[in-house]
Structure 1
Amino acid sequence: MNRNVLNRGIIAVSLLAVGTSGIAYMDKAGWGRADAAALGTAAPPQAVTTTVPGVATATDFSGIVDRYAPAVVNISVVGKAEQQPAANSGAEIDPMDPFSGLAPFLAPRGQRDTPMVRGLGSGFIISADGLILTNAHVVDGASEVTVKLADRREFKAKVLGADRQTDVAVIRINAKNLPVVKIGDPSTAKVGEPVLAIGAPYGFENTATAGIISAKSRALPEGIYVPFIQTDVAVNPGNSGGPLFNVKGDVIGINSQIYSRTGGYQGLSFAIPIDVAFKVQDQLVKHGKVTRGRLGVSIQEVTQALADSFGLQKLQGALVSSVDKGSPADRAGLQPGDVIVRLNGKDIGQSSDLPVQVATMSPGTDAKIDVLRNGTPKTLNVTIGVMKDTAVAQRDTPMEERGRLGLAVRPLDKQEQSAVGAAGGLLVEQVSGPAARSGIQPGDIVLAVNGTRVTSVEQMRALAAKAGRNIALLVQRDDAKIFVPLTLG
């Protein structure tokens, strides 16, 4: 029996096989930001709509497509796919793995690292010097990211940071004078308003699809920090990370997920509001991570039955079901059974509004919480705490640190050297380029370069710099050692 799932629309390709994710994760956050600069000085194009009182008519988005489609990019990535261990003890052999020929002689190890796969997504340029927004799941786990512009130029991209909680990522390419989009205000968008998406569904670049806003501030499973914009725009795998435009040509969202029984479009698409994305972008660019406020309560929706039980006149607010001991909420005097109806003067219409508002606040901020306790209004003062960093944001290892080989490595400490039985050696943390193509994986240990034992990153970099187009690394994986040839650019 089919079941409804939320899919994040990146195309994962291995011999052109299309794959989509299951339930999207997202403990999201929401914020605000000023517009990015638009090209030229002329008035931006707007969709043309002929209106007749009481009659809805088609909207012409061609002017917006002509102006802003050049700022939409196609993103291709190389990374590793998740792979479940086989039912029997024999592991599948990856022909690109340099250790595959030794497989019969290695002890069983359960789930192995998986072969490199490729994927496709979308993004859009927000600054003329190469800053691009996309989805975190588009670049998650990628060892190489390539951006293809509408004019067919291609650039290697650097991931400045990716926040899995909001599914927002920021990447940069080394280019100038690029076309950019214009950023709008999603708070002014209305349900029923026409919207346009541009992206690369199934790899078909610069595809435009249109529809309407179906709902706003939509809460999704685990998406507690993002008030999603729901649309009926046709969004499919490959559209992930692409822009959602309003009729003025302003970007108001990032297309992120679909609700589907089949993995393809079925009329339910969800976009991250652009003010959410820009607040995340600011923090990722400046700090490489996202800091969020914390209250320390568990909450639930106020249903009619609960409202009757607590003597509430309105179905509004967030019902506190528990308070973390020692948390900001605990110190402020919040209690289970309180219904939070306002935070710093902003109404909490439904429970999903509270996490979004709290997350936008800087730790240390003093705030007022209006609650109903046993039906009686009460105001409490709280100092917002900081949410623990659970590595929800990641910063890419700069390509210059990976050098010619495409390796991010670090020296083994004494305990690690003793455990693997090697003197010296460099632990592989990330791979890209020549190393990835040769099948080297994170967790491998580089023992020697062209026969010379290596004990430091600087030594390996110097040996690689002196090498020609070909180089051989002595690599240890588990108890096996093998020379792996690399062809360098």
Structure 2
Amino acid sequence: MFDRPTDLSNLPPYRKPRRSLLSARRFALMASVVAGLGVAVYGFGPSSGPVNVFSTPAHAQVNREIGNAAQPVGFADIVEHVKPSVISVKVNIKEKLAKDDSGDDDASPFQPGSPMERFFRRFGGPDALPRMPRGHGAVTGQGSGFFISADGYAVTNNHVVDSADKVEVTTDDGKTYTAQVIGTDARTDLALIKVEGGSNFPFAKLSDGKPRIGDWVLAVGNPFGLGGTVTAGIVSAQGRDIGNGPYDDFIQIDAPVNKGNSGGPAFNVQGEVMGVNTAIYSPSGGSVGIAFSIPAATVKSVVAQLKDSGKVSRGWIGVQIQPVTQDIADSLGLKKAEGALVAEPQANAPAAKAGIESGDVITAVNGEKVKDARELARTIGGFAPGTAVKLNVLHKGQDKIINLTLGQLPNTVEAKADTDNEDKGGITRGTEVPKLGLSVAPATKVAGAGKEGVVVTDVDPKGAAAERGLKEGDVILEVGGKSVATANDVRDAMTAARTDNKNSVLMRVKSGGQSRFVAVSVAKG
């Protein structure tokens, strides 16, 4: 039991070295000089005995310089204050919950093929301990976390406690408590838990500031079940997108982080939590100096909602969006590759009701420029449902302002049509479009393809379409902003683009139930 919470706000400021780097270099040089003098004295001095190398005034000056030289400044004072707030998290999950619907073990809560999903697969579940043999009925795993209040609220990763039947935490002084999961948010991989049976826990403060690249960072956690482990490094990069979802905005650090560190804090030198360690890039399975942390600003926002309602509600406009590449920008006549391109508005969603259409580019929200699709997703998701927003939209080459009220982001992903499982026995060889390097057939002539567009029946691997990722079975819905239903429609749109001296033409393509825009060169045949 702790007598009182550790107040991290009174942490003494980080001590900077008393001497400059030049002084340190001078010290290194002087050490070499002393060594040289020592050799000289012993080589040429009297044989009666060794000579005190600091007996002369010159040598005494060297001794004073060594004593005054800056010594390495460690992190012991910071660690002493922050380490008690960090906990080890142990979970038990029934074996049946560790399978997906297909019966495969190690079902991952992350997007298939994403770095987070590969991280999960490599480490076999909630981060650490090996899975027990089949028949024992449970899976055990470990992660990390940290207290954010004296009454036992603590933060960890969603993937650490996801589907857990039992959660136990061990504090820095070795005491074990049962914890309850208050709420989780899979989209940011955060979870809020509440430790039962204690009070006056030492807790950490979430940083208000944004770290700078090059800042020191301390990672504290439970790697490989070794609780209370401290490692140090620097902030390597910011705003990293690791393919986990539209809200990716990770801080990259090079402090050694391993399996079991997930959910643990990354502290700055003020003793504040700058991020929550979530994933690593690791071809070998161990730390290679690339780890990713969720920024404190995101943690604050998510945790506040989890504590209040046990879930996170996000604003939603209901559009499929994609980045504006330079090719797409050229096709649309944009000077810069900025904004978020609307691939397809969802039926009856706020965007569709407000008049936003496929091919529109959202360039600003409430007057603030939108850099790319990820920034739009984070911006809209940061508003509460029901908020009125103003969007700047480029619609068919014209700027316009659209006002709408945000809906609530659905918690589940809508089912997608699985065109791969449809009977495609009706696919014909199709009609060739040489300038694109593909053949197409009307969708109405292909079983399971729907009633709109043309289906790609063959792709020349060396053609322009293949360069942009088009493949057999894709459905081309629009070319150059015009709906197409036949190969002739596609050719006419290509001819029009060349007549307008365009280098590329924009196609709207449906693949696997999702729509996207693809800029294809019109110069290649």
Same fold (TM over 0.5): yes
1:43 matched to 2:57: no
Look up the match of 1:342.
364
2:206, 2:300 within 8 Å by CA — same for their partners in 1? no
Look up the match of 2:261.
239
Report the alpha carbon displacement of residue 333 of structure 1 after superposing the two structures with TM.
1.9
1:47, 1:60 within 8 Å by CA — same for their partners in 2? no
Separation in 1 of the partners of 2:397 and 2:359? Answer: 10
Matched residue type, 2:144: S
1:145, 1:157 within 8 Å by CA — same for their partners in 2? yes
1:181 matched to 2:204: yes
Matching residue within 56, 78, 83 for 1:64: 78
Report the alpha carbon displacement of residue 334 of structure 1 after superposing the two structures with TM.
1.7
- Are the structure 2 counterparts of residues 114 and 356 from structure 1 closer, same or farther at C-alpha, using a change threshold of 3 Å? farther
Look up the match of 1:351.
373
- Are the structure 2 counterparts of residues 343 and 73 from structure 1 closer, same or farther at C-alpha, using a change threshold of 3 Å? same
Look up the match of 1:268.
290
1:328 matched to 2:295: no
2:8, 2:204 within 8 Å by CA — same for their partners in 1? no
Look up the match of 2:410.
388
Secondary structure (helix, strand or coil) at the match of 1:216 reads strand
1:74, 1:199 within 8 Å by CA — same for their partners in 2? yes
1:74 matched to 2:88: yes
Report the alpha carbon displacement of residue 47 of structure 1 after superposing the two structures with TM.
3.7
Separation in 2 of the partners of 1:86 and 1:316? Answer: 42
1:46, 1:63 within 8 Å by CA — same for their partners in 2? no
Matched residue type, 1:168: L
Secondary structure (helix, strand or coil) at the match of 1:286 reads helix
Matches within 5 A, 1:91-240: 115-174=137-196, 175-186=198-209, 188-240=210-262
Matches within 5 A, 1:311-322: 311-322=333-344
Separation in 1 of the partners of 2:356 and 2:413? Answer: 29
1:68, 1:181 within 8 Å by CA — same for their partners in 2? yes
Matched residue type, 1:184: S
Look up the match of 1:280.
302
Deviations 1:267-287 (A, max 9, x none): 221111122222222222222
Separation in 1 of the partners of 2:143 and 2:154? Answer: 12
Separation in 2 of the partners of 1:274 and 1:349? Answer: 22
Larger RCO: 1 or 2 (CA < 8 Å, sep 6+): 1
2:8, 2:82 within 8 Å by CA — same for their partners in 1? no
CA RMSD of aligned residues (A): 2.9
- Are the structure 2 counterparts of residues 42 and 309 from structure 1 closer, same or farther at C-alpha, using a change threshold of 3 Å? closer
Report the alpha carbon displacement of residue 166 of structure 1 after superposing the two structures with TM.
1.5
Secondary structure (helix, strand or coil) at the match of 2:224 reads helix
* Aligned residue-pair number: 331
Separation in 1 of the partners of 2:218 and 2:370? Answer: 30
Secondary structure (helix, strand or coil) at the match of 1:208 reads strand
Secondary structure (helix, strand or coil) at the match of 1:224 reads coil
Gapped runs of 5+ residues in structure 2?
Answer: 26-69, 106-133, 415-525
Separation in 2 of the partners of 1:273 and 1:41? Answer: 19
Secondary structure (helix, strand or coil) at the match of 1:355 reads helix
Separation in 2 of the partners of 1:378 and 1:86? Answer: 50
Secondary structure (helix, strand or coil) at the match of 1:220 reads coil
Separation in 2 of the partners of 1:59 and 1:380? Answer: 56
Which has a greater percent of helix? 2
- Are the structure 2 counterparts of residues 305 and 59 from structure 1 closer, same or farther at C-alpha, using a change threshold of 3 Å? farther
Deviations 1:206-245 (A, max 9, x none): 1111222222222222321231112222111010110111
Deviations 1:320-367 (A, max 9, x none): 111112211112222222222221233322221111111111111100
Secondary structure (helix, strand or coil) at the match of 1:225 reads coil
Secondary structure (helix, strand or coil) at the match of 1:337 reads coil
Secondary structure (helix, strand or coil) at the match of 1:183 reads coil
- Are the structure 2 counterparts of residues 124 and 326 from structure 1 closer, same or farther at C-alpha, using a change threshold of 3 Å? same
1:311, 1:374 within 8 Å by CA — same for their partners in 2? no
- Are the structure 2 counterparts of residues 49 and 147 from structure 1 closer, same or farther at C-alpha, using a change threshold of 3 Å? same
Separation in 2 of the partners of 1:382 and 1:324? Answer: 15
- Are the structure 2 counterparts of residues 156 and 332 from structure 1 closer, same or farther at C-alpha, using a change threshold of 3 Å? same
Of the structure 1 ranges 125-134 and 40-49, higher mean CA displacement relative to structure 2 is found in 40-49
Report the alpha carbon displacement of residue 76 of structure 1 after superposing the two structures with TM.
1.0
Report the alpha carbon displacement of residue 86 of structure 1 after superposing the two structures with TM.
9.2
- Are the structure 2 counterparts of residues 243 and 288 from structure 1 closer, same or farther at C-alpha, using a change threshold of 3 Å? same
2:147, 2:153 within 8 Å by CA — same for their partners in 1? yes
2:265, 2:275 within 8 Å by CA — same for their partners in 1? yes
Which has a greater percent of strand? 1
Look up the match of 1:293.
315
Separation in 2 of the partners of 1:320 and 1:389? Answer: 21
2:183, 2:311 within 8 Å by CA — same for their partners in 1? yes
Matching residue within 328, 331, 352 for 1:309: 331
1:202, 1:236 within 8 Å by CA — same for their partners in 2? yes
1:47, 1:59 within 8 Å by CA — same for their partners in 2? no
1:377 matched to 2:403: no
1:45, 1:67 within 8 Å by CA — same for their partners in 2? no
Of the structure 1 ranges 51-60 and 204-213, higher mean CA displacement relative to structure 2 is found in 51-60
Separation in 2 of the partners of 1:41 and 1:273? Answer: 19
Deviations 1:252-300 (A, max 9, x none): 2110111222332222211111222222222222222221111111111
Separation in 2 of the partners of 1:307 and 1:287? Answer: 42
- Are the structure 2 counterparts of residues 211 and 345 from structure 1 closer, same or farther at C-alpha, using a change threshold of 3 Å? farther
TM-score, structure 1 as length reference? 0.63
Instruction: Say which one has the larger Rg.
Output: 2
Separation in 2 of the partners of 1:333 and 1:192? Answer: 45
